[in-house]
Structures are given as C-alpha cells and as structure tokens.
Amino acid sequence: MNAANLAMREDFPILKRSANGHPLVYLDNAATTQKPQQVIDTLADYYARYNANVHRAVHALADEATQAFEGAREKVRAFIGAAHTQEIIFTRGTTEGINLVAASLTSRIGANDEILITELEHHSNIVPWQMLCERSGATLKACHVTSTGELDIDDFHEKLSRRTKLVAFGHVSNALGTVNPVDELIHAAHKHDAWVLIDGAQAVQHVPVDVQALDCDFYAFSGHKMFGPTGIGVLYGRLELLDALPPWQGGGEMIEHVTIERTTYNQLPYRFEAGTPNIAGAIGLGAAIDYLNGLPRPELLADEQALVALTISRLKQLPGVRLIGDPAERLSVVSFLIDDCHPHDIGTLLDQQGVAVRTGHHCAMPLMQRLEIPGTIRASFSLYNSGQDVERLVAGVEKAIDFV
C-alpha cells in the first residue's frame, strides 16, 4: 500500500469497522462506494445550517441552499467537461437518467425505428428501451458479446443501420469490468445519424470523462458510485437535443406558466427536474467531486489497476477458480466462479470472514444468459483498496474452496 492510498483510507470512517468479527474488506464498490468524511460532513452541514427548499423563496436560507445546489451543478459541469450548466440535469441516479431520455424520446421514435444496445448492459440500460419500444412499436436490437466479455464489434457495425435512432451502451461493464471502445462506437453511431447515450455508472469514479471530447449526446451516472450520496445522479444531454425534447414528469419547478387549460414549460435544466430535488444529495455530490479533484487520480487509478491485475493472477493459481471474462481493457472488476459452487455460497463464506463481495447476476441477466452461467462472484475495487484486501480475498476464497 503506498502513502497516497494509506492516507485516503483515513478519509473513509466506515473502513475502520469490522464485519462478522473481522476487519472489513470492502470489495463491492461497483454496487456503491463508501463515503469520505468530507461528504458526510457536507450533508450534515446542509441539514444543520441551511436546510431550505431551492429556487422558490426569498429568505436567506433558501438563498444559501440555492447557491450551494446550483454550485454543485457547476461542479458537475466542470467535472465532466460539459459546455453549459443547462446540460446538467439532476436525477435520482443512472436509472432515472436513462428512463428520462427513453420517456422524452417517445414522440421522436416511430414503428420503423430501431434502438441498438448491447448484451453487456445493466438492466437499467435495457428495460427503459424495451418499454420505449412497446410504446412506439420500434425494434430493440442488441450487439453480441464475445466469450471474453467484449463487444463483437463486427456485429455492432452490422446491426447499425439507417433505421437506428439511438445507440445506448455502458462505458464500463459492471459485471465484467470491460471498457468499451466508446470513441469508435460513438463515431459509428453518428455516421448513421443515431443519438448516443452512454451509461457511465461504472466509469466516472475511475477515469476522467469529458463529454465534449467524447461527443456523446447523453451521459448518465450515479452519485453513490463516486463517493457521493445515494438518491442523486446526473444526466448530461447536449443542449440543442435537450432543448428539443419534451419534459417527462410534470409538477412544480418544471413550469413557466400554468392555467387549468395548459402549461408552458421552464427553461433547461429545470424543465426536466419536476418537484423538490434531492438538494442535500446534489450538494453532497458536489463535495464528492471536490474530494476527487483533490486526489492524485492517475496515480490512484494505476494502483487500482495493479490490484485488479494482482487479484487475477492470484485467483488463477487457485484450483477450481474460473475467471469470467478476459477483456483486453478492464477497470475495477474481477468476476469469477468456483467449480460446482453456487456464487451465493461463496459470497456468504467470504462475508463470514469480513470480505464483502457481490454475487449473482449483477442486474445483467442477458449477459449471464449469453455466457451460460447463473451469475458470478464479483470483487470490485476502488481507490481506497489495498494489496492487503486482495490477500484477504484470496485467503477467503481458499478457505471457501476447502470448506465446500
């Protein structure tokens, strides 16, 4: 463990606790990351000092809350390199961002159109498109995945056609850690005049993201997977596109003028933020971004990648362990199975040793069907994990193998 990594662990109070009588090893970061004290304090400070609803009142507390809330939007804009704060819509998370786009696009999608996704997707990047296709009569297609857990690029190009209205794919797979060739996919989609939505849930906490350099149309992610609070997320949308789309939910905040007969809508981004937003969550997400911006991110990412490589090489040496997926480019995730053992049993045995991993289909059932497996045991890493964590995982797996 290097100095930067050691210092970072101190920032996360939960890493000091134990689980089932052992010091906690937290390797379920793809599900949610832990929170630094800075984020926890920011949330408490909001509720203790300036809790008020945003935008609508003239009093001092509301002004402070609004400034912090809109300040967080600006932090998000800068963090992902968007050109305008109006392009940053606060959501509940990645899932809500994708549902927002799918709902808003309803009037723009017809029975002759196609939506192209991939077999690697999380359910939240599958089901909203199925629902859109049910509403519109459009066809949903999915690019195949190879046995190494990578996209079959030839199949992607084959499935892309003049009918394709939207292409949606993950930046990084939550089940296997596969990093998709986003530049190539975006370029190909745009050549066919299709819009591109990227599910960035597993990317933003690991790698710098610049939505303008990527040239994507939409980019969705969740605060809780990047050291921020739960219940807050972001949908980035290109300004001209968002401007042309109808709102998806009606209520307060998203309106300009309401009569019983009709409503005119507010400007961006408020048009897509009906009702009281997650104010504390947005401010907490801003604190998480401040925290990330203060870290030596390239160095920490290199350490994290070294841990992933170490985990793979150590697990490969154990009898009966089968690694699932072997993508050329991978981030954070190592998925594996143990011969004749159900993943849940191994997960439970690891938990008894204080090692938290995730087991199951990881909300990616079509991928599990494609790979013909019931699920996997998934260890997912973050900036605060250490070589010791890898050793505890490997020792735990060895013990589990002996036990079953």
Q: Cα(first)–Cα(last) distance of the chain, in Å?
A: 32
Site membership for ligand PLP, residue 335 (CB under 6 A): no
Contact pick of 170, 347, 354, 396 for ligand PLP (by CB under 6 A)? 170
CA distance 96 to 118: 19
Structure tokens at 159: 């499935």
Instruction: List strand residue ranges (DSSP E) for 38-194, in order.
Output: 88-91, 114-118, 139-143, 164-170
Which residues ranging from 174 to 193 are in contact with ligand PLP (CB under 6 A)? 174
Concatenate the DSSP letters of all residues of 34-73 into one string.
---HHHHHHHHHHHHH----SSS--SHHHHHHHHHHHHHH
CB of 100 to ligand PLP, least distance (A): 12
Q: What mask of x and - would describe binding to ligand PLP in positions 74 to 103, judged by CB under 6 A?
A: -------------------xxx--------
Q: Of 20-28, 107-115, 196-204, 331-339, which part binds ligand PLP (CB under 6 A)? A: 196-204
229 is a site residue for ligand PLP (CB under 6 A): no
Q: Active site residue: 133, 143, 341, 363, which one?
A: 363
Query: According to the binding rule CB under 6 A, does residue 217 interact with ligand PLP?
Result: no
List the beta bridge partners of residue 197: 168, 218
Residue 317 Cβ vs ligand PLP, minimum distance, rounded to whole Å: 29
By CB under 6 A, tell whether 119 contacts ligand PLP: no
Question: 140 φ, ψ to 5°?
Answer: -100, 125
For the bound state, the minimum distance from the C-beta of residue 319 to ligand PLP, rounded and expressed in Å, comes to: 31
330 part of the interface to ligand PLP, by CB under 6 A: no
> Other C-beta atoms within 10 Å of 318: how many?
14
Give dist(CA 221, CA 202) in Å, integer: 8
| Number of residues engaging ligand PLP in binding (CB under 6 A) | 13
CA dihedral of 26, 335, 332, 147, whole degrees rounded to 10: -170
Q: Is 202 in the site for ligand PLP (CB under 6 A)?
A: yes
Would you call 222 helix, strand, or coil by DSSP? strand
Looking at the Cβ atoms of 73 and 122, the one nearer to ligand PLP is 122
Is 143 an active-site residue? Answer: no
Rank residues 266 and 359 by Cβ distance to ligand PLP and give the closer one: 359
Q: Name the site residues for ligand PLP (rule: CB under 6 A).
A: 30, 93-95, 122, 124-125, 170, 174, 199, 201-202, 222
Residues annotated as part of the active site? 363
